[in-house]
Amino acid sequence: MGWAGGVVAGIALHTGLRRRVVALLFLALTIGGGLGVALYATYWIVLPTPEGARRSRLPRPVEVALLAVVVVVTTGLLATRVAGGTLFVPTLLACLGGATIWRQAAGPDRERWLRASRSTLGAPGADRMGQLRLVAGAGLVVAGALLVLQRADVNTLRDGLWAMGVTTVGLALLGGPWWIRLTSQLGAERAERIRGEERAEIAARLHDSVLQTLALIQRNVDSPREVTRLARGQERELRRLLYGTRSAGGQLGEELRAAAAEVEDAYAVTVDVVVVGDVALDDALAAACAAAREAMVNAARHSGATDVSVYAEVEADTVSVFVRDRGVGFEPAAVAADRQGVRGSIIGRVERGGGTVSIRSSPGGGTEVAIRMRR
Amino acid sequence: MTTVYLVDDHAMFRAGVRAELGARVEVVGEAATPAEAVAGILTTRPQVVLLDVHMPDGGGLAVLRGVGESLPATRFLVLSVSDAAQDVIALIRAGARGYVTKTISADELADAVERVAGGDVVFSPRLAGFVLDAFRDAPAAPPVAVPATDADFDRLTPREREVLRLLARGYAYKEIAAELFISVKTVETHASNVLRKLRLSSRHQLTRWAADRRIT
């Protein structure tokens, strides 16, 4: 909202210039030949009022009176200047044309104008009024420029500069808003396209995995084991998609999770993996992971439990992995001799890597294999 | 019998839990949306609310905030499929007394409900893992059981760490007590102290997790 017509405020808002700068420009143009007053009047008439806002702080009658005075002064200026006028008329014409187009860009119908302009200004009947105004504005800008150019041969370099300036301003007014809208529209379209592609990718993934698994589950209803295996495998895949795993490949956490996934698939048990901290694998840790995998397999095959918990923690100087089940358990001392699996593939492996294994088990009390490896 | 209120937007899941728990607890109501849940909880005044994390209109967090301090005797237990630390930590910090995953067996769930009703807290191995992760680089607190200053909320005592490790390894309270040669009551005290630290700590990881769910 401004004082008289809100022209300064409106232009400041539109261009991003400070109000004071715009006002000073008008003042300078007024002192230098009266153009400022004429322009002010033009913009007052031509520029759109923002929706739901009164432009002026002055009461309506005062505003009308003021507008009348400005129009009279402008007419007077025109009358006195047209005869011998050099730059006044063409400049005014160009500004009028620019303002007409500007109004188009800022008005409520700019969306339609944009659509019309995007179809190369020529969509028949898209917005007849908008096209008319556009053509009229362009004509005025061109006319102004031509008039200036016509006089350029009789005047000096100054007129040439004016011509260039007026033409440039006219072109900027003509193309600027259109260009800005077009680029922002293109940006929005690109974002929309990316969103669409993401949706399509998720749909494809869901189709490939979830729907296939559901179909398989329906065909395997007679085998609870198979259903569990399918459901658990699918759950794992979805979790990876939804939550992602924090660790990258070649890390302890990822290796243990992969091992757990294999065991789940092969033996239709649930292996829950909790990892605190993470570290890149070296040979010793890879051996620890292989041993942990073997412990998971043993739990799945021999314990009778449906759930296996794996807990790994990376500390400053050690890495510990615990594999635990609540199954039938066994007497470690009694079976140690003939359980080559445990001796060779768990204990031997870890000890060669410089670590230790302790196994705790009791009949009926479940089993826990603890693997510790120095870092 | 413990009175329980079910909040989950999946009717099938509510029906399943109702059927599984039917014999051991009394389900006094259920709701599918946070608004419905807050109204229902305030009228039925259950001992335990089983709360889902992800629901339309604000999820479990909206229920915790909606009920607020008006029912100090009602305890909240989070029951969720989520693996995301920020979901779990956010609800614990908003006042939930425990977190279990939906794959828990019916018996274990009934145990957890009764423990929460009795004033205990419930740590699933995953929650214990999150907590250890969040406090991983924190210096150990002096082995005093009860936090005295604000800084104590940011550190775990060596004993609390041991208890959490065993919880993460899948040990039950009774097994932890046997392992550490302490009473079950002491294990419970350690667990609830850890939960309190989880709520009141200003540790960066916890506040970041909470910020992800727009709690501070």
Put simply, the answer to whether B133 touches A276 (Cβ < 8 Å) is yes
Q: What's the confidence (pLDDT) of residue B216? A: 45
The DSSP annotation for B80-106 comes to: E----HHHHHHHHHTT--EEEETTS-H
Crossing angle of helices A110-118 and A128-152, in 10° steps, is 70
Residue A323 is predicted with a pLDDT of: 93
pLDDT in the model for residue A321: 94
A372: confidence class by pLDDT, cuts 50, 70, 90? very high
Q: Which of B169, B174, B175 to mutate to test the interface with A (most CBs of A within 10 A)?
A: B169
* pLDDT exceeds cutoff 70 at A54: no
Residues of A in contact with B82 (CB under 8 A): 243
Backbone angles phi, psi at A54, to 5 degrees: -85, 140
* ipTM, 2 dp: 0.82
Lookup result for tokens 């869901």: A206
Tally of helices (H runs) and strands (E runs) in chain A: 15, 5
Closest CA to B180 of B157, B205, B163, B192: B163
The token pair at B22 is 């039917």
Q: Please indicate if any CB of chain B lies within 8 Å of the CB of A309.
A: yes
Task: Flag whether pLDDT at A86 surpasses 70.
Answer: no
Flag whether pLDDT at A193 surpasses 80: yes
pLDDT at A312: 93
Beta bridge partners of B76: B49
Of A4-8, A192-196, A235-239, the least confident: A4-8
Higher pLDDT, B53 or B83: B53
- Rounded Cα gap, residues B129 and B174, in angstroms: 19
Q: What is the pLDDT of residues A303-326, one digit of tens each?
A: 888 889 999 999 888 999 999 988
Sorting pLDDT into bands at 50, 70 and 90, what band is A58? low
Question: DSSP E strands: which ranges in A239-332?
Answer: 270-276, 307-314, 318-325
B128 touching chain A per CB within 8 A: yes
Cβ contact B133–A368 (<8 Å) = no
Position A186 scores a pLDDT of 86
Residue B48: name the closest of B94, B1, B105, B80 by CA: B1
| Pairwise CB contact (< 8 Å): A313 & B126 | no
Whether B169 sits inside 8 A of A368 (CB atoms) is: yes
Looking at the complex, report in whole angstroms how far the Cα of residue A374 sits from the nearest Cα belonging to chain B: 18
For residue A229, how many C-alpha atoms fall within 13 Å in the half-sphere facing its CB?
A: 15
* Closest chain A C-alpha to B128 CA, distance in angstroms: 9
**Residues whose CB falls within 8 Å of the CB of residue B49, separated by 6 or more in sequence, listed in order:** B4, B5, B7, B37, B41, B63, B67, B74, B75, B76, B77
When pLDDT is averaged across residues A289-294 and rounded to a whole number, the result is 90
User: What is the distance of C-alpha A190 from the center of its chain?
Assistant: 10
One-letter amino acid for residue B63 of the chain: V
Q: What is the pLDDT of residue B75?
A: 92
Q: How confident is the model at residue A120 (pLDDT cuts 50, 70, 90)?
A: very low
**d(C-alpha A76, C-alpha B188), whole Å:** 94
In degrees rounded to 5, what are phi and psi of residue A156?
-100, -165
Is residue B85 within 8 Å of residue B53, measured between CB atoms? no
Mean pLDDT of chain A: 75
Interval A171-182: pLDDT, tens: 887 777 778 878
